[in-house]
Copies of this chain bind each other. A is one copy, B any other.
Amino acid sequence: MSATAVCIGTRREVPDGAVACPDCGGAVGFAFDLDDVHFDDGDTSMWRYRRLLPLPDGADPVSLGEGRTPLTRASRRDAFGGADVRWKNETLNPSGSHKDRALSVAVSVATGRGASTVFVASAGSTGLAAAAYAARAGLRCVVVVGADAPEGRLLPLRIAGAHVVRVGSSVDDALDRLGELARTHGLVDLSTRRSGNPWQAEGPKTIAYEIVESLETAPDVVVIPIGGGGTIAGIARGFEELREMGRIERVPRLVGTQPAGYETLVTAITDGLTTEDELRAAAFTDRPPTVQVKTAHTFAPDGAEALAAIRATDGTVLAVTDAEALAGCLDLAQQDGIWAEPSSGVVVPAIARLVADGTIAPNDLVVGLVCGNGFRELPALESGVADELPPIETLPADPTDRLLALAAS
C-alpha cells in the first residue's frame, strides 16, 4: 500500500497489522508518500482519496457511498457577523454521521486482513457505522454498549444484524477493555480511537480534502464537535497533508467543542495539559445528564492528539450547554434546512461566540462540521424543544378561507 505503518513516538516502521508498537507499546500511525498524489475522479465516494488511505494491497474498499457530503452556505450571514459560514453536512453519510468515513476504512482493512468477527464499543454513531459496514462486508459485528444505553438507540443496531452486548460498566470502560484485547489477543476492535484501531484514524482526513476541493482554498476557521478527539485530529492531519503537498498555504484554525459538564479539553488548555497520562489523570467519574449524548466522554482517548492539533493552529475548545445546543438545532433546521442531532447543533452557538469575541472576523470563511443526523435522536430533540415549537393548528371542515388567508398574510 501507499502508506507505511509507523510507531508515532519513534517513527520506526511497525509490522503490517500491528495496533501498537511492538517495541515501546506506543500508538501506530501511517506515513504517506505525498509526492505526485492524484485522486480518482471516477469514484463518487470518499475512496476517491484512497491514495492517502491505508488500505492493504489487493484489498477492496467496503463502501456504502460515504463522503462527498454537501457543503452548503448558511443562509444568514448577518447572524455570524458577516462571516461566510458553510455547513459540512456529514448527516448525509450512509449511517447518518461522519463516523462512516472512519468505519469504512476500518472495515475495509479488517476484511482485507481476513477478519470474520469485529467488535466496537459504542451505542452511538460509531456503533451504527460499524453495524452497517460489517453488514455490507458479511462480518459478524459485536456492539458493546454501556449499562445506561437506552433500548431505543439499540434498535437500529439490531435491525442491521449486530449482536448487542451490554456490560455492567460505562462505555468508556468497555472501550478500554476492547482496546486492551485488540493489543493482547488480536481481537478486531473498530472503535474510533487510535490505540485500538489506527486505520480508522485516517478516515476523517477526507473531510479536510473535500472542504478544500469544494472551496478551492482553505477556510479560515473550522469548528468541530469533539467526542473522543479523533475526528478533529484526523481533519488536522488532512489539512496538514494538503499543506505539505502545496495545495493550501496554511492549516485553518481548528476550534473544538465539548458538552458543558464534559469540558475535559477546555480544562486541559487552561491547565496546560498535553499528554494522554495527564488527561487520564484529570478524567472524572460522575456523568451529568446531557442531550449531547454523542460527545459526552469523561476522558477523550485521542485528546492529546486533538489538543496538539488545536494548539498548533492557534485554535481553542469551547464548552456548549444543552440549551445552546438545542437552540442550534432549531437554527440549523429553520434557517438552513438541516436536521442535526443535539451533539452537532453546537456548531451554531460556537461560531456565534467566536464572532462575538473577535476570533472570527467579518468575511472570514468558516466551516462548521454538522456530524450527526437528527432523525436518529428525535426523542432527545423532542424533549428539549417541544415547548418552544408553535402549536399545530386545527382547521374547520372547509379549510378554504383559512388557507387563502394564510396565503395572503
Contacts and interface: CB of A to CB of B under 8 A. Distances in A.
Interface of A: 44-45, 63-65, 68-72, 75, 89, 92-96, 117, 119, 131-133, 135-136, 138, 142, 144, 151-152, 154-156, 158-161, 163-168, 174, 177-178, 181, 185, 187-188, 214, 329-330, 333-339, 373-376, 378, 381-382, 385-386, 389-390, 392-397, 399-400, 402-404, 406-407, 409
A164 to B, nearest CB: 5
Nearest to A168: B397
A152 to B, nearest CB: 8
8 contacts: A63-B70, A65-B89, A92-B94, A167-B395, A181-B400, A181-B404, A181-B407, A188-B407
B393 A163 contact: yes
Given A65-B69, A158-B390, A381-B159, A407 B185 contact: yes
A166 B64 contact: no
Nearest to A174: B399
Contact of A64 (B44, B70, B156): B70
Contacts of A163: 390, 393, 406
A376 to B, nearest CB: 5
A404 B117 CA distance: 11
A213 to B, nearest CB: 9
The 8 tightest CB contacts between A and B, nearest first, are: A65-B70, A132-B337, A161-B334, A136-B337, A375-B375, A158-B389, A160-B333, A165-B393
B70 A159 contact: no
Contacts of A178: 403
A403 B70 contact: no
A174 B92 CA distance: 31
A191 to B, nearest CB: 13
A161 B390 CA distance: 8
Contacts of A95: 337, 339
Given A135-B336, A156-B333, A160-B334, 15 more contacts: A44-B214, A75-B138, A94-B337, A94-B338, A135-B337, A136-B336, A159-B381, A160-B339, A163-B390, A163-B406, A165-B402, A166-B394, A167-B399, A168-B395, A168-B397
B403 A181 contact: yes
A74 to B, nearest CB: 10
Contacts of A156: 333, 339, 374-375, 378
Contacts of A399: 144, 165, 167, 174, 177
Contacts of A75: 136, 138
Nearest to A403: B181
Please indicate which of the listed interface residues A158, A185, A395 has the most CB atoms of chain B within 10 Å of its own CB.
A158
A337 to B, nearest CB: 4
A185 B136 contact: no
Given A165-B395, A403-B187, A337 B382 contact: no
Given A214-B44, A390-B158, A406 B117 contact: yes
Contacts of A375: 96, 156, 373, 375-376
A64 B334 contact: no
A386 B151 CA distance: 11
A336 B63 CA distance: 10
A135 B187 contact: no
